[in-house]
Amino acid sequence: MSELLQFLFSGLTVGAVYALVALGFTIIYNASDVVNFAQGEFVMLGGMITWFAHAAGLPLPLAALIAIVATAALGVAINKLAIEPARGAPVVSLIIITIGASVFLQGAAQLVFDKQIHSFPAFSGDTPLRIGGATIQPQSLWVIGGALLVFVGLWLFFTRTLLGRAVLATSNNRLAAQLVGINTNFVMTLSFALSAGIGALAGVLATPITLTAYNVGIGFALKGFAGAMLGGMGNPKGALAGGFLIGLIEALTAGYLSSTYKEAAAFVVILLVLFFMPQGLFGRKSTERV
């Protein structure tokens, strides 16, 4: 029993990271219909920049803040320099552009930082808390709490603020949003900043547990996407639930089946979802208008 609880704790921890990545996917997907394959690199950058700044002598909270702001700025740059110029391009071109951005960021991180595995101290020490015979790291609570807070924050933003509603309006119908005076270009910029910032935050929170290196992004992207798809593409609630579920499935696979092949769990989920319910848990069946 305590064993199961232990697996659940670790599943919720990584699941929270996947949920944040999935939320990042969802924000950009809703605003622009672009599936941003560079989403995982934002997580990598969050961790790597924080490590770098911290190692250079800055206090951890300041280093984390710099990492989040810098990554958000990079997200905006990707949108302005690579995605906006290709507006109206076929899906395949947009996929190649965002995967290109992802590979480019990996290559840049290799050069600017290095190829080693890095970490920085946990925020509230390393003394594990004992709950019902299992233990949980205080940092795990930071990660899980972070994911929940971001979700609530996004919900408030999208439902209670004028700006958030402008984003929603743009995702519903871009042209109609423009006609009522919404600056849809600004909405795109905001979506990329928000999405990249959330990704970086995930990296900052998770690195003390999962560690970071220049090439961790693609795995986060794959699992975040699996979460977003499981929950239903474009649905924030689904992204949150889907991300946590992928984390739990992965942890249980590692615990009871095979720790080498836990990475395969996300892929199997992707295939099963596509086979049996392509609209996901919370998604509606979508029809495309011509």
List residues near another protein by CB under 8 A: 35, 37, 82, 85-86, 89-97, 99-108, 110-111, 218-219, 222, 225-226, 229, 260-261, 263-264, 266-267, 270-271, 274-275, 278, 288, 290
Q: How far is the CB of 264 from another protein (least distance, A)?
A: 5
CA distances 10 to 144, 212, 276, Å, are: 10, 17, 28
Q: How far is the CB of 270 from another protein (least distance, A)?
A: 6
Q: How far is the CB of 29 from another protein (least distance, A)?
A: 9
**How many angstroms separate the CA atoms of 3 and 27, rounded?**
36
Q: How far is the CB of 131 from another protein (least distance, A)?
A: 33
Residue with smaller CB distance to another protein, 104 or 123:
104
**How many angstroms separate the CA atoms of 28 and 26, rounded?**
6
Residue with smaller CB distance to another protein, 149 or 274:
274
Q: How far is the CB of 189 from another protein (least distance, A)?
A: 18
Residue with smaller CB distance to another protein, 112 or 176:
112
CA distances 17 to 14, 30, 81, 157, Å, are: 5, 20, 28, 21
Residue with smaller CB distance to another protein, 66 or 218:
218
Please name the residue that has the structure tokens 């992928």: 246
Residue with smaller CB distance to another protein, 66 or 86:
86
Q: Chain-centre distance of CA 86, in angstroms?
A: 23
Q: How far is the CB of 266 from another protein (least distance, A)?
A: 7
Residue with smaller CB distance to another protein, 91 or 129:
91
Please name the residue that has the structure tokens 């990475």: 263
Q: How far is the CB of 95 from another protein (least distance, A)?
A: 5
Residue with smaller CB distance to another protein, 108 or 211:
108
Write out the H or E segment, with its range, that includes residue 135: strand 134-136
CB 119 within 8 A of CB 208: yes
Which of 138, 248, 163, 146 has the alpha carbon at shortest distance from 197? 146
Residue with smaller CB distance to another protein, 76 or 226:
226
Q: How far is the CB of 17 from another protein (least distance, A)?
A: 18
CB 285 within 8 A of CB 48: no
User: Which are the contacts of 195, defined by CB distance < 8 A and separation ≥ 6?
Assistant: 23, 24, 25, 27, 28, 36, 39, 42, 75
**How many angstroms separate the CA atoms of 55 and 255, rounded?**
34
